[in-house]
Chains A and B, each alone.
Chain A
Amino acid sequence: MTTDAPNEATIDLNAIDPTQTHQIAEFKHEIALTTIRVDPTDRFAAAGAEDLDVQLWDLESGDRRTFKSHKSWVRSIDFSADGNRMFTACWGGVINVWDTSQADPTPLQTIHAHQGSARFVRVSPDGKYLATCGNDLLVKVWNLADGKLVQEFAGHPRHVYGVDFHPGGKHLVSQDIMGGINIWDLVSGGHKQSIDASIMTGYDNKFAADMGGSRDLHFKSDGSQWASAGISKVTNSFAGVQDPIIVLFDWESGKEIKQVKSADDNVKGVAWGVRFHPDNFLIGAIADRSGKGELWFHKPEEEKAFHTMKLTSAARGLDLLSDNRRLAVAHADGHVRLYRMTAQPPSEEKTSEKTAT
């Protein structure tokens, strides 16, 4: 009756349990990564880096293709719903549209979207439009069919760091370096609301400079909340001494719901990624100033993260795969690492991780 077999059989390897998160694969690039996005079909992970290229890995085979065209670092990436199109935004202000099936990729479209950096690109829920933002203080909406500008929103006084569509498709949220958030009405073309999130910026008295802004923006799938990842409590920004933070906002009221910070006061750096999990917890990806990182797992109703996973290299971006079990993290050491939020099969616990280059 009491054998070992039944115990193993009781382990549900598909049960989501963030406390059991473990690395299952890694994909190597030679240069520090800057961002990551996984396509909605879970076929590809794409990463920008501290070079001019985009690396696209086939998550099944590990094969890598390099997408060359940008003349600056790629800061943000998104995919079409079918994963066949990839959209990349670079510090040079350019948005490129790519066919992910091409063996020798060249851009299908190049949009000179912003004067100065294009910091964020996101596809609309209906797949017809792109939203971008940048250092020209503008938020723009582009028609994907012809690459033409559809709408332009002005009102941010400083560089705009992040933008995303509300899942309802009728609004945009954008945030600038000073933490200022604007909600834009895509139907009327007007400004709907301003929200003060100055908790997410800091002025360094010693160096007389501002630091802040959204480093990642993400909506809950039902549109009831959004989260912004960034920094707070700047002490010495030039040395990277500030608190990483994720702030949750309520869509209806526009009010801040919660501030999520590290459980460890010694962790100083930047929150570079945030995702809502359907099981009602939040995932954050952190770069500590030491060069190491953290993954935070946080339930909205709880004060502190219920689990923190230490990372050997700083996180520069985060995405949640559509199976809701795997996370993709871009690291400062040039690796994309896949983590699985389930128990690890006993047979795999001592085996080496899958590595691809």
Chain B
Amino acid sequence: MIDLLGYEFMQRALIAALVTGLAAPVIGTYLVQRRLALLGDGLGHVAVTGVALGLLTGIAPTWTAVVVAILGAVAIELIRDRGHTSGDLALALLFYGGLAGGVMITGLAGQTGATLQRYLFGSITSISLTDIWFTIGLAVVILGLGLGLMPQLFTVAQDQDFAKVAGLNVRAYNLLVAVLAAVTVTVAMRTVGLLLVSALMIVPVATSQQLARSFRATVTGAVVVGAGAGVGGLLVSAYLSQSYDLTVPPGSAIVLLALACFVATWPLGALLRRRQQRSTPFPDVAPDEHEVTAHHDHEHGPDCGHLAVPHGDHVDYVHDGHRHAPHGKHYDEH
């Protein structure tokens, strides 16, 4: 394992995985906040056409993919901005158009599916030094804008009407998020591949929001999960290929590792939400009549094992589907 890290291609791959894992969830958080989790997927499909155009024209596919993905993002955002009802459908049309166009142009370019596959499923271990600088540069832009403009982007994604009345240029900020998502897609293209790009943007967010109570905690958690899954997944796939001679594409290992994090945190999140709901105070409504609990041997107290829930000026104990409120020497049904 250690000697594997000595290879230059492996070091490059590790940097790419780390940087992508850091940047993708930041934009992903805004997409989830706006309930647009699938936008990244749509842009990934559109970028396939971009890659194919690169293969056809001989221009570096990374560049053509960036340009086409950004054009796609602008188109989606404009369509969403115009008519609200057709936004979902417009996204679907772009999905299919992008993928079919990409496959067709690749064919026209005389390339085999194998070439396209490098972009569809990633080829992190064959990243060149130029690609690394390109990846780092774009990731810095994504992180800088995504985190630096957090108050503005947060407000716009949270409540567009409010943001407009606060004087923010909502259309410009929405466009910025869409363009940053497009850039993220192309950055992550080499790491996990276009078909799995969206997973790296969304799954870490889904994981961290199981435990987070605030937006800031969600972003922080998502970045940690994203970077961890990026590096961890790459190491897992390298380890498997070296020790057991198994071919595991790093992209799939990264995404599955992120999903494993989600599966691990989900029960904890469900438990937390349940507990929070159970211990939410009862509304301050007095019971209709004074009803004394029948023969009650148990004495409720701070450590009695029954859930204590605030109710107005006193505490009710949840006991077998009843709410018992201490009253002198007996308990009342509340």
Q: Indicate whether A and B interact.
A: no
